[in-house]
Amino acid sequence: MPISSERRGHPVFAWLLAAAGLLLALAVSALPPRAAQAAPPPQAATPPAAGDVIAISSDQQCLDCHTAPDQTMPLANGETLYVTMDQAQFAASAHGQADVACRDCHTEITQYPHEALAAQSLRQVTIEKSATCQECHQDQAARVADSIHAQLRADGNEDAATCADCHNPHYQVKVEPRARIPATCGRCHSGIEQEYRLSVHGAPVYANTNADTPLCIDCHGVHTIQDPRTAQFLDKSPQLCARCHADPERMAPYDLNTNVLSTYVADFHGTTTTLFEAQAPDQLPNTPLCIDCHGIHNIKAVTDAESSVIKENLLTTCQKCHPDATQNFSGAWLSHYTPSPEHNSLVYYVGLFYSVFVPVTVAGMSVYVVTDAGRQLIRRRQKGAGPVHPPTDSGSGSRPPAAPPPQPEPPVPAPESAAPPESAAPEVPEPAATPEPPAPAAPEGDH
């Protein structure tokens, strides 16, 4: 029977409803409190039923497990290996586009449950899996074998980069954004990457505003990265810079001078470096290279107030090698411009004068020397020629006997009145003649 409106408005009925509500509230408060639900922990790989061994024959079996979120695997050193894979991202990768199967790389996994990993740490997992890359990428593996990274690993440095450090095997795409390349190198070389990010080369890369600026791989290579601290690398660094800065087509949009290499090689610094490279390639040059004046990863634009080669800062740069240099020393620098009416006009016109004066002077002196030598030769021949002899009767054409040499002229006697020279010996008088004795007289009887 429904309750009438008169009864619902009665005071006794209102008190009964209030008492029932109070009893219900007391009953609810007497219940034990419910604990707050925490976020579920990462899910470990699903174990199979005891004794079940499942042979793996398709990629789908791998994906059935490894696409589940937040799956992990503990390693012997206590680290955790994340084993979940994004199937859509893998399908868009270079391996996914090439239909590379899971078992093409994970050749050791043939059944489920998987055998225990031999790797004891995450780093060892990366190194061991990188060895699988050479099964398909033989050319790249051969280049890496000669790189500084491979040399460091051979020396026991496990932190040196390997394939999987730079190329994610599940998500590596064929064409990456340019900014991702220095970011990849920055995983190990973070300090250098920060310098590069703020440089005239790196800032446009991260802003994606210029495709001409160099990346890490443009100077250091990709798989054949050499030790940049060696003499061989440093000696060749000017040629690295010249790949871009001596290219007129590439420099034209920026109105940059392209005579940088030729002017560098022509001066004392570049000439000495060239000699070192040719004669002592294993010895560091003792003259500055491009990087000594302009910087390496922190190169600034010539319009930047922090640039090391602008006029205001050039003296400080020169004093790194020439501590006694003054403002006149740095002011004499012609930059990398060849003298012209527009750049360094005084030097240009002085050079132009000497380019005419010196050849004319040398040519004039050469003509004088040649004509004088010819005149002397003709005079000697005329003086030494003898009388002409007629041909012999036999007509044999034999040469007549040579004329006797001229006799020397007798000396001219000195005049009697002339005084003898001081050095002449005194005249010795002739001895007087001894008188003959008289003849004996004849006897008288003979008459």
Q: Give the pLDDT band (50/70/90) at residue 31.
A: low
* 54-55 and 80-82 beta bridge pairing: unpaired
| Chain mean position to CA 405 | 78
Partners of residue 80 on adjacent β-strands: 74
Amino acid at 20: A
Q: pLDDT at residue 185 above 50?
A: yes
Q: Give the pLDDT band (50/70/90) at residue 342.
A: confident
User: Is residue 213 within 8 Å of 221, Cβ to Cβ?
Assistant: no
CA distances (Å), origin 365, targets 351, 360, 373, 378, 389: 21, 9, 12, 20, 42
Instruction: At 79, list the tokens.
Output: 């680290």
Overall average pLDDT of the 336-343 stretch: 85
Which range has the worst mean pLDDT, 108-122, 145-159, 195-209? 108-122
Instruction: At 134, list the tokens.
Output: 């050479």
Q: pLDDT at residue 313 above 70?
A: yes
- What was the pLDDT predicted at 139? 94
Amino acid at 234: L
- What was the pLDDT predicted at 4? 46
Q: pLDDT at residue 2 above 50?
A: no
Instruction: At 22, list the tokens.
Output: 């109070």
User: Is residue 251 within 8 Å of 244, Cβ to Cβ?
Assistant: yes
Could you tell me the residue ranges of all domains in the chain?
54-174, 176-225, 227-338, 344-375
Instruction: At 193, list the tokens.
Output: 């990457």
- What was the pLDDT predicted at 412? 60
CB neighbours (10 Å) of residue 283? 11
Burial (0-12, 13-18, 19+ Cβ within 10 Å), 394? exposed
From 232, 235, 224, 260, select the one nearest 149 (Cα to Cα): 224
Chain segment 127-142, per-residue pLDDT in tens: 988 989 999 999 999 9
Cα dihedral 407, 408, 409, 412, rounded to 10, equals: -150
Q: Which residues contact 296 (CB under 8 A, 6 or more apart)?
A: 195
Instruction: At 398, list the tokens.
Output: 């034999």
pTM above 0.75, yes or no: no
Instruction: At 184, list the tokens.
Output: 């990849």
Chain segment 358-381, per-residue pLDDT in tens: 999 999 999 999 999 999 998 888
User: Is residue 170 within 8 Å of 89, Cβ to Cβ?
Assistant: yes
- What was the pLDDT predicted at 385? 65
Alpha-carbon gap, residue 29 to 21, rounded angstroms: 13
